[in-house]
Amino acid sequence: MTLGVSEEVEFYGVRVASRLMLGTAQYPSPAVLADAVRASGCAIVTASLRRESGHLREGQDFWGLIRDLGVRVLPNTAGCHSVKEAVTTAQMAREVFGTPWIKLEVIGDADTLHPEVFGLVEAARTLSADGFEVFPYTTADLGVAERLLGAGCKVLMPWGAPIGTGLGLNDTYALRSMRAHFPDVPLVVDAGVGKPSHAAAAMELGYDAVLLNTAVSKAGDPVAMAKAFAQAIEAGRAGYLAGPIEPRDMAAPSTPVFGRASLA
């Protein structure tokens, strides 16, 4: 599927042709995952590293499926709650997937899956110094963003809402502020997106891409939903490029009142 107006987007010097990124967890079957990725037109998928048996090598079938789809893999450190755990997982993922890219998650709260931003910055600095190209899952806090950039990150991935909630963009003010404050930094809304309209809204704010998983994998029809998100990304980006009007408090007539007929 080729999108009409999304254009290419660049991450760490790599240009990709889609602004939609998909996670690969919790699909009904590998076949449905493959069909959803194709329907989405995405160029990047995330994959979490799981320890596999050295004898059975259960992960090889999954890795083969991803290679056959021809998409770029962004490994992640999902489920890591400490700097040491995240760094170790990232190093293992680099060996398994053969890429310096890593989606860095350091989770601070098990219920909300809120990023632990102090550990996140520390882990990002350690991994950047080790040659990784880090995609940090973070909040929309500008101070944290500054520290992540200072730690070597060249992409920021603020959450829209807690992972898997489908609540959409909980704080559009913060997301808009981040876009305005970092006009030249690639920004990706990551987590909490539940509907295509949420993805379109993120693109209308000027974000460079949207990363989601549950909204597609748990949908009644994951393949149809993946296609719907692709269309929403395209529409939102087109709207942003077209220059939407600024909201206002008072009504403004769309039909001119000058020269109207007088019935007096």
Is 3 domain-assigned? Answer: no
Domain that holds residue 132: 9-242
For residue range 92-115, list pLDDT tens digits in order: 999 988 999 999 999 998 888 999
Average pLDDT over residues 212-233: 97
Query: Active-site residue 195, yes or no?
Result: no
Please tell me the distance from the alpha carbon of residue 9 to that of residue 17, in angstroms, as a whole number: 7
Active-site residue (options: 103, 154, 218, 227):
103
Give how many domains the chain has, as a whole number: 1
Please tell me the distance from the alpha carbon of residue 23 to that of residue 151, in angstroms, as a whole number: 25
Per-residue confidence band for 260, with pLDDT thresholds at 50, 70 and 90: low
Residue whose tokens read 């080729």: 2
Is 250 domain-assigned? Answer: no
Tell whether the model's pLDDT for residue 65 goes beyond 90: no
Average pLDDT over residues 224-236: 97
Q: Give the residue numbers of the binding site for 1-deoxy-D-xylulose 5-phosphate.
A: 164, 191-192, 213-214
Q: What is the DSSP string of 149-218?
A: HHTT-S-BEE-SSSTT-----S-HHHHHHHHHH-TTS-BEEES---SHHHHHHHHHTT-SEEEESHHHHT
**Is the CB of residue 182 less than 8 Å from the CB of residue 145?**
yes
Q: Which pTM value belongs to this model? A: 0.89
Is 197 domain-assigned? Answer: yes
Is 219 domain-assigned? Answer: yes
Please tell me the distance from the alpha carbon of residue 159 to that of residue 168, in angstroms, as a whole number: 9
Tokens of 16: 């990709």
Is 106 domain-assigned? Answer: yes
Question: CATH code at 155?
Answer: 3.20.20.70
pLDDT of residue 201: 97
Is 258 domain-assigned? Answer: no
- Who has greater pLDDT, 50 or 245? 245
| Count of beta carbons in the 10 Å neighbourhood of residue 256 | 7
Q: Give the residue numbers of the binding site.
A: 164, 191-192, 213-214
Is 226 domain-assigned? Answer: yes
Is 46 domain-assigned? Answer: yes
